[in-house]
Each structure stands twice: as structure tokens, then as C-alpha cells.
Structure 1
């Protein structure tokens, strides 16, 4: 008697085994799976040098309105052989609290050379690099860049992500023409799709008329 073997292939959304999100939050990959991500606070490659509280998986969580608009940005980039790459989106309050606690320990300067070589750690609060509240925690702010799909490399923006210094200001003049053009490409597409820029960081944008302008969430990124 022949044995019959049935093979079932099940396809789940990226959020199938993840948490139930609050209303109006989505996993970005469920809206556009082509957008790349590298959540820096999930690993050691960030200004603290350690994983940050509240980050448990490399999944981008954001409000639905923001995700829909990012999909429009991505569609324009794909025509050019480019793609968005997300460094951070929704950020739980526990992560912000982790930043604040770290900033108060002045001797902990593990990543100073890479991320804030010209800024004294004692000045991070006064200069606005660290704060007790973050727009990310409201769910409609995103940190991102552009990559070349053929090479997989990030476009040169003239300063690294999360670099604390004037070099990260969008219109910083002492960078090359190509670096300026790369920054302006990202800025132009984000502006065209209802995001407003932050004038101290080329990578930072917030959805206009965000749905939770006064609510700070604390569920984990997983």
C-alpha cells in the first residue's frame, strides 16, 4: 500500500507570531515588505553600544497612516533602483528612559569616538540630543535613509545615523555635492508624502497631523 504524503505550505503575515498591536499601529512589512530595516537599538551598533530596553525583534512598528505614506515614498525610490532603509520608528518609553539613565552616567563613553566626538556627554541634555520624551514614542516618527538596491549600500549622507553634531543638520554646508543631493532626495520625497523634517537630523521625519500627538506608548518592539 502506497503512503500518501501531503505537504501543506502555510504563508503567514510577518506579524502572525508577534504581539497584538494597539489600534492604528501596524508592522511596516505588512504594508510594504520591500522597505529594508536595521533597527540600531536592537544591537550594539548605536550611541550607547548596547541593545536598548524594549527592542526585541528587527520589526518596524509605526502608525498605519505613516506606513501608507512610506509606501508611496518607496514606490518612487524603486523606480530609481533605490530603497528606504529604516533605523528606528516606534520607540517604547522604556527605551527613552534607558537613554536618559545612560546620559546621566558621565563615565560611560564607550561610543563617544563614533557618535559624539566633539560633544561633551554632560551637554547632551542641554543640546537636545537626549530628552525624557521622544516623538518616536507617539508612533509616527521615523529615522531612515536610502540604499542602492544593486549594491545594498547606504547612500552617502555626509554623516552617520545618530551622529551628535552639526554635521547631521540637513543643510550642513561642509559636505560634498553628492552628499547634499542624497540628503535632499530623501527630504524631498518625505516632504511630498506628508512628513515634516527635523532640522537637526537629516534622517528624522514625523507625519504631519499624526494620530497620537499627545500619547506616549510603552509596548515593546517585537
Structure 2
């Protein structure tokens, strides 16, 4: 039996790979805008998150194809989808958990969780040890009015503005006004929060109606968070890194 141990240990060092039915969204619809926040330092952690080796949206094929259909409908209305996060490796979720347990790591508090005590992020449901994103059919996204304006890069150390401030004061994302920025740890992010004004509410509901008609289910606490149903992998939390290499060799 000893002869089998070397290949086993060699295999343990190789990265996990995606199942065959995971795809890069750009290969299904290259018109959907991608701003992969966890590949950048512009997120609540304040640094690139573990597992994001490329700014790439990876999803199960059914979820990606449903987004393509949604995009076709929205383009006719003068809008584009923009994705912030898609498949999320378990190692990225683990990074979030380590960050949440370090109560002194509050560099990004003023933008992403200005009114929430960091010690409450688990109890209040903003951070969890498992994420539906790791199953490959959940996506965080918004709407952009066409023609899309470019979004300037976030500059680490720049002054931060609360994610629920008026749109003209928040970080200049090219999204329509949804009432808060992405990943705003605040009850104002609840999809049907009554503080969303007429236009903000209409924008949220346009996104919601379009996606729900195609099988996506919204997380009521986050206007940006949608899961395609039925999920191909409802019980599996993957950990392959976000890179084209995780997908190569699939035909």
C-alpha cells in the first residue's frame, strides 16, 4: 500500500478544480459589466480577499445563462447588469470570518458598517461561516444606466463616506441609485426598506422583477444578493480559486 501515498500527498498540494458546469460569465455574456470587488481593496476587509486571483465572475452554467437572458431584457430598457461578486471560494469566506473576529481591523468601517458595532457582525447576520456564494449559483449585482460611465479605482486611504449617504456623496460607483452602496452593513440595505426613496425603490424593484421572473430568489436583507433556483449544487461549498485555470480543460 505504501506506493499509493506519494500520489495522494502530491494531489493534496494541487488546487481543487471547478466541476464541468461552472463557467466564466464573460464567456456566456460579455456585455454584463464586471467589478469584482473582492479582487480589489475596495471592500469591507480593505484588502484583496483570499481566493480571488483574477477579477473574474464564475457561476454555474444555469445561473450564468439566466443572467444572459436578464441582460437581454435590460439592454432593451437602457440598462446593463453589473456583477460585484459571483462564486466565492470557501477560503474567502474563512478570510471574512478571521477579519470579523479581529475587532481592531476597522479601516473600512466608515464606509461599510458605520453604525454597526463590529462585535455584532455575526449576531446580526452580516458575516457567516458559510455562504451560498460558495455553491456557485449566487450573485451580487446592480444596474447601470447606459451608456455606462467608467468607475474610477478606489485609492486605499482615501476618505470614506457612509454607504447609505446620498448617492452624490458616496463612492462614485456607476450604478443607478439603489439607496446604499454594495455591501452596506445596514438595515437600509433590506430590499424593501421603506427609507428607499421613489427612484431608489423603483431601481431595486426593476432588478428584482427582472431576476425573479427568471428563477432567481432575492435575499430580503440585501438588495444586491440573488440565488438561482433550482441550484445545481444546493449542499456543496466549493473552494477552488477564482481564476481561469480552475475552469480550463472543460469542454
Tell me whether the two structures share a fold, i.e. TM-score over 0.5: yes
Partner of 1:215: 236
Partner of 1:71: 68
Compared CA separation, residues 20 and 34, structure 1 to 2 (3 A)? farther
Unaligned runs of 5+ in 1: 1-18
Unaligned runs of 5+ in 2: 1-15, 150-173, 244-251
Aligned equivalents of 1:20, 1:81: Cα separation in 2? 37
Deviation at 1:20, TM superposition (A): 6.4
Deviation at 1:148, TM superposition (A): 1.3
Deviation at 1:24, TM superposition (A): 1.0
Partner of 2:108: 111
Deviation at 1:58, TM superposition (A): 1.1
Aligned equivalents of 2:26, 2:101: Cα separation in 1? 36
Partner of 1:166: 187
Give the structure-1-normalised TM-score: 0.90
Name segments (4+ residues, structure 1) moved above 3 Å: none
Partner of 1:197: 218
Aligned equivalents of 1:66, 1:175: Cα separation in 2? 28
Deviation at 1:144, TM superposition (A): 0.1
Deviation at 1:21, TM superposition (A): 3.6
Conservation of the 8 A alpha-carbon contact between 2:17 and 2:240: no
Pairing 1:34-45 to 2, within 5 Å after superposition:
34-45=31-42
| RMSD (CA atoms) | 1.1
| CA deviation profile, 1:97-117 (whole Å, cap 9, x unmatched) | 000000000011001110001
Conservation of the 8 A alpha-carbon contact between 2:57 and 2:87: yes
Q: Relative contact order, CA 8 A, sep 6+: which one is greater?
A: 2
Give the structure-2-normalised TM-score: 0.80
Partner of 2:122: 125
Aligned equivalents of 2:79, 2:27: Cα separation in 1? 20
Aligned equivalents of 2:222, 2:49: Cα separation in 1? 20
Note if 1:29 corresponds to 2:26. Answer: yes
